[in-house]
Structure 1
Amino acid sequence: MNGDDATKMEGFFSVHQNEIVFESFGGSLNSKMNGDDETEHNGVAMDAPLASIIADVFMTNLETTLMDDLINAGVCEWHRYVDDTFIEDGDKLEFLDVLITRSTGYQLFETTIYRKPTYADLLTNYHSYVSMQYKNGGIITMVNRALIICSTYTSLAAEFNEIRRIGLLNGYTSSFIDTIIGIKLSQYRKKNNDVIQSPQSGPDVKKRMYVEIPFIENATKEFRNKITHLCNKLRLDLDIQFFMKPSPAVQMLYQTKDPTNKKMKSDVVYSIKCTQCQHSYIGKTERQCIKRLHEHGAPKSSSQPEQQHPKQQDDNCTHQSNNIVELRRSGRLKNKPTTTITTPSVIKEITFAVQQHQIETRHQMNWDNFRIFMQDNHYYRLLIKESLLIKAYEPELNRTTHSVPLIVFSDGLQKELLPRPFDND
């Protein structure tokens, strides 16, 4: 985008209207930290639907105000994609993991590996309790990247020395690193020198099969050798490739993020129980539970997440509404009387069994202690789980016996094999 394109947005909104737009879209983003509600100011969440639009508006305003200064500073060309820009400094340009250098003596570009200043020189330690495949892969990946990106022998040799330095810092031996460099370099030269051959086909080609097995060091190696031996005797047409799955990392044992509020979870199977007659209901929802509970008849005061500063939010909304600039373009539409059609005979039909139970019996559902006992982001699996639980427990308030046909488990499952939906949390 050049300066002329940036000025197209100038004057689209006034300064005051810009403040209202950003406050409306970016000033009401709430999150939780250590159990407290936090509000984000002057920004948007990562991957938010409006993030790219707001970033583009912000960068357009920045270009409008600073483009003259950039031109005076010697910038002859400017390219931008949303909020990402390319900047050439000292005849060098960084793009992802590639450093592009403009050669002064020749009209050519040289490429080598680029690492950010914050790069910590870390990879899988040689003494880690993981398969040797992972340790080889860490070095092989860096060597292959160097062979593909480095355009000169000088830069390639410098990158190999950098790989040796990083490997030694992480417990790898020089012989281990040099062996991998020699193997990959020979394969690369052979690949470039040999004539490209068409892929083989016919009865002699083995079918490749990938098998993942847990890594328990010697036991895993023994198991792999036995499977390979049996395959060589019984199935000569198979080429089995084994992958060793490492044990869970230590960080998986610790929770680093605040747990999601139960009422804000989605893609769940839930249960609600009556406090007087012990009638129950089992359902599923892809949306947040709080929205589904409102549809069932839950009072919003008891099912809404707590707000720390409701008065302050009301004051902000009142302040914004008082300062909104009139944007109508037609006085005729402004003066036209509004008509609202009201039909007293049209009454909202009660379609939710839980809400109907409350109205008919004047009982109260236990909204605060509803239970979530299954979660699945796959919609059809969610329906199957709901159907299995409904068939097993037969809740009184459910009008249907299943959501989808139970083809595999036509008779359902025993209660012992399913979670108990009516236990207390």
Structure 2
Amino acid sequence: MGSPVSPVIANLYMEHFEITALRNSPVKPSVWLRYVDDTYVIIRETDAKIFTEHINSQNSHIKFTSEPEVDGFLAFLDTKVLRNADGSVSISIYRKPTHTDQYLHFDSHHPIAHKLSVIRTLFHRAEIAVTDPEERVKEVEHIKSALGRCGYHNWTFGLAKAKDKSKNTPDPPTNANQVEGKKSSTYITLPFIEGLSQKLQRIFKSYGVATSFRPHSTLRKLLVAPKDPTPTEKKSGVVYEIPCGECTSSYIGQTGRQLGDRLKEHKSTAPSRKPSAVAEHKTESHHNIDWESTKINRFSSLNTTLSMATPK
């Protein structure tokens, strides 16, 4: 949230903050690692309280909480750092007690590339983060089991591995006989619609256009709204259409006021008011007007002049 530059500014300040705090500290940690707002510190147990009080006294708006290791184990980001009896350190994957192993379901309306990326990401994390070979095998089995419960089939793991290898394989030398213009030089993103998007991808590829897909319907789009939508009758500055309920005629008009107020005028039968074209149509044809089906056209504009009783 906020300005896109905010995280950059915050990180720049935190670099200044930690350099100053560490330089002035009465006790020094042997290791200080930070990623965004998570830190990993190695310090003598007797100095931990002094160091925490010192670093929390640097800025009244920045406070650190301290979480000591328990039985030689400390969580940092999504890794579990374990201090072994011989003094060595081993790393494995850490999952919070509330972790549910819920990932993008294989039956969800997403392109297959997104689902294969889930597999590759989890396998890549296991490969680079887990230091013990036996723990790495256990992590891979855990991933397969968790994804299996999310609908992933065994063949998807092999396909993801093949895709990963193809990405790491250098491109072959350019063929001198390659048709000019076939190499992708343009990149576009399309909404994903099962069956249609894949066909469009093949067509664009033949013209040298690379494509990627994004979900058309997301939880953010469905659930997140900064404010309640304005009711149709409360909208102003619109072009609207009132259909007849018994024939193909409709009235297209424009108003700068709220639509509800304008519709009241169309419905008015007061002798002192000149009847609108809608009222005249109702009187002359004895048709009922379908007020409930009044709609706002998408090409609405305050400066558009459209007003006449016209057939569709």
TM-score normalised over the length of structure 1: 0.36
* Higher RCO structure (Cα 8 Å, ≥6 apart): 1
